[in-house]
Structures are given as C-alpha cells and as structure tokens.
C-alpha cells in the first residue's frame, strides 16, 4: 500500500462521514422544532458542502474546485442572511399582531 492509496482511503472516509452528517443536518432542517434550528441546519449544510468541495479538490488535485467552493460560501452566506431577515420580519409582525390582539381584548 503506497501513500496515495492511503490518502484516497482517507478522502473517502472523510467524504462518507460528512455525507452522514449532511443527512443528519437535512433531517434537522426538515424536523427542527423552531425556525432558528432550521436556519442553523441550513447554514451547517452549506458549510459541509464547502468542506466536501475542498476535500474533492484535494483528492482530484483540481484548483478550480476551490474557486467553486469560495463562490458557494458567498452564496450560502447570503442565503442565510436573507433567511434570517425574513424570519425577523415574520417574528416582528407576529409580535405586533399579538400586541394588537391584547389591546383589542382589554
């Protein structure tokens, strides 16, 4: 067994573990008890995909995949920011409606 086979085996093990964690995060994103849990799970999925792209770039020795992972990191960051902004808008609207209902019942 040479060193390249050892590295290939290590890469495959890392990709397998990250794939299992990706599935667990997807389950949390679907089942999550709150919207904040879902947003964090989506952020973790994005981070794991970036890590997988980096591992594949190392495995295949292709530098362009690092560029792809950097672009995906920027898009993932923007997606999480937008989701948080939407969640805060929904939360503030719900809070305002509860305040109005409390005043109407009084």
Which sign does the torsion angle of CA 14, 15, 21, 25 carry? positive
| Residues 31-90: tens digit of each pLDDT | 989 888 999 999 999 999 999 999 999 999 999 999 999 999 999 999 999 989 998 888
pTM of the model: 0.81
pLDDT value of residue 98: 86
Ramachandran region of residue 34, left (φ > 0), alpha (ψ -120 to 50) or beta?
A: beta
- For residue 37, the enclosing domain spans 3-105
pLDDT value of residue 95: 87
Q: Over 90: is that where the pLDDT of 22 sits?
A: yes
Angle at which helix 3-31 crosses helix 35-60, to 10 degrees, equals 160
pLDDT value of residue 13: 97
- pLDDT classification of 100: cutoffs 50, 70, 90: confident
Both tokens of residue 79? 């997606």
Between 25 and 105, residue with greater pLDDT: 25
């Amino acid at each position: 067994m040479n060193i390249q086979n050892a590295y290939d085996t290590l890469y495959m093990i890392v990709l397998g573990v990250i794939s299992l964690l990706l599935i667990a995060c997807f389950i949390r994103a679907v089942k999550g008890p709150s919207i904040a849990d879902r947003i964090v799970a989506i952020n973790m999925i994005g981070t794991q995909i970036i890590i997988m792209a980096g591992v594949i770039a190392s495995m295949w020795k292709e530098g362009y995949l690092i560029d792809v992972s950097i672009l995906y990191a920027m898009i993932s960051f923007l997606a999480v920011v937008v989701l948080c902004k939407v969640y805060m808008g929904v939360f503030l609207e719900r809070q305002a409606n509860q305040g109005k209902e409390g005043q109407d019942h009084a």
